[in-house]
Chain A
Amino acid sequence: SSELTQDPAVSVALGQTVRITCQGDSLRSYYASWYQQKPGQAPVVVIYGNNNRPSGIPDRFSGSRSGNTASLTITGAQAEDEADYYCNSRDSSGARLVFGGGTKLTVL
């Protein structure tokens, strides 16, 4: 079982805004990072730290944090955003990595 909890599936209408959440006690001590994974591809980081986007990631992706919950928001979802999204952090001890179970995003 994951120490980070995500909803298994979320859907959003094309062009609308969607929020994907990740809960876990370790998120009080460490920022989460978020990964997009499309079929047959390796995960790609889309958000890390305090709402940081690596170069090449569209600005419609943003992140936030409140208490033990981290959120990934896609503002104006596009068809190409349909993918699995995983959150990741260190555990509360800081010694180990943990992943959320993943959220499958469907763009309608």
Chain B
Amino acid sequence: QVQLQESGPGVVEPSETLSLTCTVSGDSISRNYWSWIRQPPGRGLEWLGYISYSGNINYNPSLRSRVTISVDTSKNHFSLKLSSVTAADTAVYYCARETYYYDNVNYLGGYYLDYWGQGTLVTVSS
């Protein structure tokens, strides 16, 4: 059974860097895509970025200048850093595995987030 677990500080001061780690068990981080997603209180889901099985990294353009995702294959975990945080970055942060699916009948593919961490609330406050 694949499991993901987020860890990191629950409170970050404004202008500092938010750092979280997602530890994966039951699968190798060298397969699939691994994403960070956040959800501000009472609002919708926002994708932050992913790292792929091949080491390709992609970020949400709206946050690209502040977000860094890295991976440590020896520990089977990947990490998120978000710099210069403000109150608007207060959110529940999730990590998730994304899997590719291909329909051989209709010749169409797609991705889906099949495993999620439980989420961790990060509050930006002094």
Which of A's residues lie within 8 Å of B, judged by CB?
2, 29-33, 35, 42-45, 48-50, 52, 54, 86, 88-90, 95-102
- For residue A86, which residues in chain B have a CB less than 8 angstroms away from its CB? 44-45
Provide the main secondary structure of the chain B interface.
strand
Q: Which residue of A lies closest to B106 (CB)?
A: A50
* Contact between chains at A31 and B109 (CB < 8 Å): yes
- For residue A95, which residues in chain B have a CB less than 8 angstroms away from its CB? 58
- For residue A32, which residues in chain B have a CB less than 8 angstroms away from its CB? 110
Provide the main secondary structure of the chain A interface.
strand
Partner of B44 from A33, A50, A96, A101 at Cβ < 8 Å? A101
Number of inter-chain CB pairs below 8 Å: 74
Partner of B47 from A45, A52, A99 at Cβ < 8 Å? A99
Range for the number of chain B residues in contact with chain A: 20 to 34
* Contact between chains at A30 and B109 (CB < 8 Å): yes
- For residue B46, which residues in chain A have a CB less than 8 angstroms away from its CB? 99
List 16 contacting pairs A-B, 8 Å CB cutoff, sorted by A.
A2-B44, A30-B108, A31-B101, A31-B103, A31-B109, A42-B119, A43-B94, A49-B101, A49-B103, A88-B45, A89-B110, A96-B60, A97-B47, A97-B98, A101-B44, A102-B45
